[in-house]
Amino acid sequence: MHKKLSFLFLLGTIVFTSCTEDRVFEQNRDFEQSVWPIGEKAQFDFEIADNSKYYQLLLNLRHDLNYPYRNMYVYYQLKDTTNYVMDKALVNFQLFTDKEGKPIGTGTSNIITYQEVLIDSVQFPYSGKFSIDMEQYMRTDSLSGVYSAGLKIIEQPSSAE
């Protein structure tokens, strides 16, 4: 029995490590009482070690099935250490299917985990510290049903690999 558990642990470690090896950064911000107030920014500070590579920035979102809309507008600003805005956009994320109203993402109960590309491919101008601010743009003072918003950065494989 002990050998079987050791093997399963080793297998899980290998799978987990291989799935996360390209992750450069991941952090999530929880919202009090599952409400994302308008004007409240989810800010993430991160460091890029290799500016010769391209990176993909992903939005992490946890919401419940009672989220009142099918989509969510998120406005982001990507900044360097001098607060220079390198990129900004208003992005529309579809959280539920149009026809059936089924949630897009994964979840085992009432909470859905959603991940989608925020910036597909970016090469940073230099190695160092950067930040991104995200805020909901849904024209409501308090956006209910949102547990957390987050940022995941993965290194994109080079075309030569």
Strands 71-80 and 85-94: antiparallel
Residue 89 domain-assigned (yes or no): yes
Structural domain span for residue 95: 23-155
Residue among 54, 72, 52 at smallest CA distance from 63: 72
Give a three-class secondary structure readout of 39-107. Answer: CCCEEEEEEECCCCCCEEEEEEEEEECCCCCCEEEEEEEEEECCCCEEEEEEEEEECECCCCCCECCEC
Number of domains present in the structure of the chain:
1
Residue 8 domain-assigned (yes or no): no
Residue 91 domain-assigned (yes or no): yes
Q: What is the pLDDT along the chain (161 residues), one digit of tens a residue?
A: 545 444 444 444 444 444 546 999 999 999 999 999 999 999 999 999 999 999 999 999 999 999 999 999 999 999 999 999 999 999 999 999 977 889 999 997 899 999 999 999 999 999 999 999 999 999 899 999 999 999 999 999 875 44
Residue 122 domain-assigned (yes or no): yes
Whole-structure pTM over 0.85, yes or no? no
The predicted pLDDT at position 159 comes to 59
Residue 46 domain-assigned (yes or no): yes
CATH of the domain at 61: 2.60.120
Residue 150 domain-assigned (yes or no): yes
Residue 10 domain-assigned (yes or no): no
Which residues have CB under 8 Å from 23's CB, separation 6+? 152, 153, 154, 155
Residue 1 domain-assigned (yes or no): no
Contact indicator for 145, 34 with CB cutoff of 8 Å: yes
The predicted pLDDT at position 19 comes to 52
